[in-house]
A and B are shown apart, each in its own frame.
Chain A
Amino acid sequence: MIWNEHFECMSREQMTLLQNERLCQMVERVYYNVPFYRKKMQELGMEPGDITGLEDLPKLPFTTKQDLRDNYPFGLFATPMEDVVRIHASSGTTGKPTVVGYTRRDIAMWSEVVARSLSAAGIGKKDRIQIAYGYGLFTGGLGVHYGAERIGATVIPISGGNTAKQIQLLQDFESTAIALTPSYALYLAEAMEEMGVKPESLKLKVGIFGAEPWTENMRKEIESKLGIKAIDIYGLSEIIGPGVSIECMEQNGLHIFEDHFIPETIYRDTLLPSEQGEEGELVFTTVTKEALPILRYRTRDLTTLQYDVCDCGRTTVRMKKCTGRSDDMLIIRGVNIFPSQIESVLLELSETKPHYLLIVDRKNNLDTLEVWVEVDDMFFSDEIKQLEALTNKIVNALQSTLGIGVKVRLVEPKTIERSEGKAKRVIDKRKI
């Protein structure tokens, strides 16, 4: 089912014309409304008139997550605050989140791309969709919610967690679709098994999964355990949230809604556009967003773009399921975590030194994060209750910055590897 044939199936020539036009308007808008971009373009000796279309895109400056942090909270907004109707945010270093804003039109556009996404996943008006992404500052819950309402589906806004209730509603409300993180889906499947709830007794037929990387093997496991089709949805709050791209029923790459988000891939070393068909870091330029238009946002996700026409009939460019990242960001239970965040928390606590090791694992299909901290003389006490109090203090400080549960383990001094260059700070056992 194609929600918007006009935009999803247009010829490459039409799409290029549309993108050229929208890109030029967008560049002009950010130049005159966002001092940050005006300064960046002036530094490069550029004026809006220098950008005449897509071929000029690589001349434009990049935007990074750090730029959003540096302009915390609303510094990159291109509209007056009175026109901003919604704020979302994701966790950031030392408690400073990355803040994004939406005008009424932005919310409408977001609902549109999520409506297209859900349609591509075979979800329509007659479906009942259980939204098990978190609601709140995180874009997952509300993002999918508005799109699901747009297509006229019956929305069950249960939010994340509360597994027993999730299963009860799957049974009682006869949900046909569910939106959640892939790791939570596996956890849910196991909980159902334990409760003796058979997947064939449910009406569930499709799930859309995103907010964290997952493998083809996980897909197979989810599909067989829940007896559903598992569709990958991609998005990031800096661009819009979920709904930047989606797999169709062919499950052969994710269709990017490129009439709103123009993708590029760049080589990690030279930052130059990669050859067609070659892997690179995914970069997005939003061309219709009002509140927070973004030029060439470096997602740090690695993928390959495919321009051939998909069997589903959509002509939009597809991105391969992301294979990795070009930075050290970890996605744990859907939450973005940088090792540097942990380092700054440890530095702020006077008792600890910034020697740490992160052990990321997946137990019972849920991601776990264990932080190893060395016990040195400042830290050390002959009383276990003191050591435990200190451990709890570290746990609390980390949890309030990271927003996820953390286990802290005390280890002997000098057991964590020292290195002159880039120390090994992370052991990820999840094999994603």
Chain B
Amino acid sequence: MIIKQLTIFIENKSGRLAEVTKVLGENNINISALSVADTSEYGLIRLIVSDGEKAVKLLKKSEFSVNLTDVICLSVAHKPGALHDAIEILSEANVGIEYMYAYALGNKAAVIMKVSDPKEAIYVLTEKDIELLKADDVYK
């Protein structure tokens, strides 16, 4: 249930994101999810891709700073209160959320989270019947 997320450091200058997507596209690596955290001088691109290990090697070769981080992916109903239920479970278990990004499609929503304790998060969420996506479901 642990999903490997790719994080890439890029300076705020034009063309850098395009270089990342170019490397991934040319090597047939598919992007399942993407989010950008930005500051005034640099950004962090967070990606879930079809082959994380390969992407890291390729990006390092192209001289990017990149790493792999453990995240989890929740699948909740696309309806009011559903996300709240999941977050409250984590909160009660004292699991901190470092950052998250989400999208909804159809009657489901996927929520990717970096949490302070992934194992504990998986345990408390599954116990309360919150669906967690498996790595293979996400890396497509």
Contacts and interface: CB of A to CB of B under 8 A. Distances in A.
Partners in one complex: yes
Given A409-B41, A410-B42, A412-B11, A382 B63 contact: no
Contacts of A409: 41
B44 A382 contact: yes
Contact of A375 (B9, B37, B39, B114): B9
B119 to A, nearest CB: 18
Contact of A414 (B9, B16, B42, B63): B63
Q: Is the interface of B mostly helix, strand, loop or mixed?
A: strand
Interface string B57-101: 000000111110100000000000000000000000000001100
Interface in B5-48: 5, 7, 9-11, 16, 37, 39, 41-42, 44, 46
A384 B67 CA distance: 14
A185 B7 CA distance: 47
Interface residues of A, number: 18
Interface residues of B, number: 21
Contacts of B9: 375, 380, 410, 412
Given A375-B9, A410-B9, A382 B69 contact: yes
Given A382-B44, A384-B39, A413 B64 contact: yes
Nearest to A385: B98
Contacts of A82: none
Given A379-B65, A410-B42, A412-B64, 17 more contacts: A375-B65, A377-B67, A380-B9, A380-B66, A382-B7, A382-B67, A382-B69, A382-B114, A383-B98, A383-B99, A384-B39, A387-B42, A410-B41, A411-B11, A412-B11, A413-B64, A414-B63
24 contacts: A375-B42, A377-B65, A380-B7, A380-B66, A380-B67, A381-B67, A382-B44, A382-B114, A383-B99, A383-B114, A384-B37, A387-B44, A388-B39, A410-B9, A410-B11, A410-B41, A411-B42, A412-B9, A412-B10, A412-B11, A412-B16, A413-B64, A413-B65, A414-B63
Interface of B: 5, 7, 9-11, 16, 37, 39, 41-42, 44, 46, 63-67, 69, 98-99, 114
